[in-house]
Structures are given as C-alpha cells and as structure tokens.
Amino acid sequence: MAARKRPSPTSISTKPDPSEPKSTRNTPDNNAFHLSPPKLGSIFVISTLLCSLHLYLLCFHYTVDAELKRSVLINAALSLVGFFVTLKMIPVAARYVLRRNMFGFDINKRGTPQGEVKVPESLGIVVGVVFLVVAIIFQYFNFTEDSNWLVEYNAALASICFMILLGFVDDVLDVPWRVKLVLPSFATLPLLMAYAGHTTIVIPKPLVAYVGLEVLDLGRIYKLYMRLLAVFCTNSINIHAGLNGLEIGQTVVTAAAILIHNVMQIGSSTDPEYHQAHAFSIYLTQPLMATSLALLAFNWYPSSVFVGDTYTVFAGMTMAVVGILGHFSETLLIFFLPQVLNFLLSLPQLAGIVKCPRHRLPRFDPATGLLTGTKDGTLVNVYLRLFGPRSEKSLCIHLLAFQALACAFCFLLRHFLAGWYK
C-alpha cells in the first residue's frame, strides 16, 4: 500500500460541461503534465551494488555449464532491454492513468507543495506487462517443444499474469483487504494444476531419530503449503509499504539475494535436475529485477509515480513462484524476514483485535520534514518509535539496509547449518 490518498469520487468531474466550447474541454492538468526525469544516477549505484556479486559468481567464481551460462546471459540481455522499454513506457502510461483520474496524493508530504501534486497510480502495470513479454520471448531461446520445464514455465507465467490482472482490478475498484487475502489463491491455480515436481520435504537431521524418516511425502498438503506461501508473499509486500521506494526497494534487494542463492546452488551441485530448477528461478528473477529497477527510477524519493497494488502483488507472486519451483521456499521465507516481522506486528490490527485505520502510516511534520511513529503495528512505525523521527528517504534506506541484513543472515545461517541441519 503506497503512501497515498486517493481523491474522493465526488471531487472528480468526469463529464464535460455541454455549454463549454469543445476547444476548451481539454484538461489543463493533462496538457501541462510533465513527469520528473528518472533518477538514473541512484539506480546505477543500486543496480551495481545488487548485480555485481551475482554476475561475478556466475561468470568467474563458479564453473557453470557453458550452455546453462549462455541461457542465463541471454535472459540477462533480454532483461536489460526490458529495463529500457519500461523506462520509456512509464511516462506514457502515467499520462493515460491521469486521464482516467487514477492518481493519489502523497500523505507523507501533506502540508507541503509536494503533498498537493497529483501522482499517477498503478504504474506497476507497466512492469508486469514488460516482464511477461520478456519472459515469453525468452522461451524462443531456451525451451524446446518437448522440454520438461515448458509446461511449468507457462503455468508460472499464467499465475503471474492472473495476479497482475487481479492487482490492477484492486487498484481500480479498491477491493477490501479481506478479499485481497483470497485473490492469490485463485491466481496460483494454473501453477498448482501444472506442478509435477516432488511433494516431499527433507526432515532435519536432528529430528530424524524422532520422526523415523529422512524424507516425508506431504502429497496434497504440499500443494496447500504452496498456495499459502503465495498468499503470504503477495500480501506481505503490500502491507510493508508506505514510503517512496520501499515496495520496489525490498523487491530488488530480495531478488538480488535470490539470484546469488541460485548461482551458489548451481555452482555447488552436480545434479542436472537441480541446476535446471535454480536456473528456472533465475530466468524469472532477472526480468523482475530489471523492470523493477526501471520503475524505481521514478518511484525513488521524491516519487513521481505510485506503483499501486498491481506491482506489490505481482512482485510477491513472482518471488513465490520462483521459490516454489526452485525448491527453496524455506530460504525464501528467511529472505522475507522483515515482511514476516511486519506481518506479526500487523496481525492484531489485521485480525480486528485492534482498530485498523485505512492508512497505517507514520505522522509527518511539515515544519521539520520528519516522520514520527504512530501506535499502528507496522515495522515502519515501530522503527520510528525505537530510533526516533527521520526523514522519509533516510527511513526507507534504513529499512532496505535491514532487508539486506536479513538476506545476509540467511546466507550465514545456511552456511552454519549445512551438513548438520539437512
């Protein structure tokens, strides 16, 4: 949920005055609309920090099969094209959504001139469309008609496409949050129906003596777990939000960690099937990261566009899909540690135990330009209550640093538990 306030329906006039001359019916806001230029300098620094380790591990550190490396690099090249296409499409799409009165006001800048600016909403639809086009075109370079992975790959794209549609519907119709919890369950149906992978889990070694099994087949329960994981991922990003750049920032940081994890697993294994599972994850994560970085160029503080629920649910579903089909859902949940913590803090309000306002955002002081934490149960507010008022940009950077630390903790945890836990 972005830091925005949607205009009330009564404040928007959609019908032109019949007595008004046609030559003057053009909306001045649309004619005068100019989107702020993308913050490419910040994006270059962020992308360099996030992508350099992944590319180093792939190209130099590990000995990766030449054919597999070729596919990953082709996918990276297509993703780079997707980055530039997204950059070009966002200003065009922003103009169209403004014509349809899909805009909001930045609540965290209320009381300042920036707080009165109409900010185009739901620009996540651009990222979703470009992502799908890149992912579909990539099939031509990598999959054959009899490929074992083609069915699951297309099922994954169908689930992601379904979630983009539902997210955009939410942005247009403003669906209640209780309904949002159910929507990902429908979006995962294509993936669940096509899933042909294993439904087993490896029992942790310390528990084998008590369980009596090393591998446990969960059967249909495993598919229920897949559905619940998708529901959590799509909604967890949506509720850990409210700052310029936070929704996309947490996505690209987690996506970078997923890419590094996949390359590390490919480099440390000799199982071809295991390689393909993690390569599958890379094929979807690289386009997600590239297109998200393009949107971040416009959404970074001060934001000139809002991503909308279209982006948050799309990003969550994509990462849930790569975690499921890449067979590292446990690792994915540790990458999502800030989102898990935010969900636990939000649970009393989401469950209706404590009153839940529409916008659970910090309080902005126009005099100082700082945000102060409220009593609402979100990670954003708890952080401000613990460490004091901060500017919106500083707070976002601190929370993204916490996201990066959570991902680093996951790699450290896997290192110490390897060979002992599983």
Count the domains in the chain: 1
pLDDT tens sequence for the chain (422 residues): 445 555 554 444 444 454 444 444 444 444 556 788 999 999 999 999 999 999 999 999 998 999 999 999 999 999 999 999 999 999 999 999 999 999 999 999 999 998 899 999 999 999 999 999 999 999 998 877 767 788 889 999 999 999 999 999 999 988 887 787 788 888 999 988 888 777 888 888 888 888 888 888 888 888 888 899 999 999 999 999 999 999 999 999 999 999 999 999 999 888 888 898 999 999 999 999 999 999 999 999 999 999 999 999 999 999 999 998 888 988 999 999 999 999 999 999 888 888 888 788 999 999 999 999 999 999 999 999 999 999 999 999 999 999 999 999 999 998 888 777 76
Q: What is the pLDDT at residue 34?
A: 77
Judged by phi (left if over 0) then psi (alpha if -120 to 50, else beta), residue 393 lies in alpha
Look up residue 135 and give its two tokens: 């992912």
Task: Judge whether 267 and 64 are in contact, CB under 8 Å.
Answer: yes
User: Does residue 386 form part of some domain?
Assistant: no
Look up residue 168 and give its two tokens: 């955009």
From residue 345, alpha-carbon distances to 179, 378, 380 in Å are 21, 6, 10
Query: Could you tell me where the DSSP H helices lie in 100-149?
Result: 124-142
CA distance 68 to 279: 8
User: Does residue 356 form part of some domain?
Assistant: no
CB atoms within 10 A of CB 278: 25
CA distance 207 to 279: 31
User: Does residue 89 form part of some domain?
Assistant: yes
From residue 98, alpha-carbon distances to 33, 179, 325 in Å are 9, 26, 38
- Count of all residues that appear for the chain in the document: 422
User: Does residue 204 form part of some domain?
Assistant: yes
Strands 370-372 vs 215-217: parallel, antiparallel or unpaired: unpaired
Angle between helices 392-417 and 246-267 (to 10 degrees): 20
User: Does residue 332 form part of some domain?
Assistant: no
CA distance 247 to 312: 7
CA distance 285 to 326: 11
To the question of pTM greater than 0.85 for the whole model, the response is: yes
Query: Could you tell me where the DSSP H helices lie in 143-204?
Result: 150-173, 177-187, 189-194
Task: Judge whether 199 and 223 are in contact, CB under 8 Å.
Answer: yes
Task: Judge whether 73 and 283 are in contact, CB under 8 Å.
Answer: no
User: Does residue 2 form part of some domain?
Assistant: no
User: Does residue 228 form part of some domain?
Assistant: yes
User: Does residue 35 form part of some domain?
Assistant: no
Task: Judge whether 305 and 94 are in contact, CB under 8 Å.
Answer: yes
Task: Judge whether 287 and 295 are in contact, CB under 8 Å.
Answer: no
Strands 200-202 vs 215-217: parallel, antiparallel or unpaired: antiparallel
Domain ranges, residue 136: 40-327
Q: What is the pLDDT at residue 338?
A: 97
From residue 370, alpha-carbon distances to 2, 138, 391, 395 in Å are 18, 45, 5, 10
- Closest alpha carbon to 322 in 177, 164, 153: 153
Q: What is the pLDDT at residue 12?
A: 46
Q: What is the pLDDT at residue 69?
A: 94
**Residues 165, 50, 236: CA angle, nearest 5 degrees:** 40
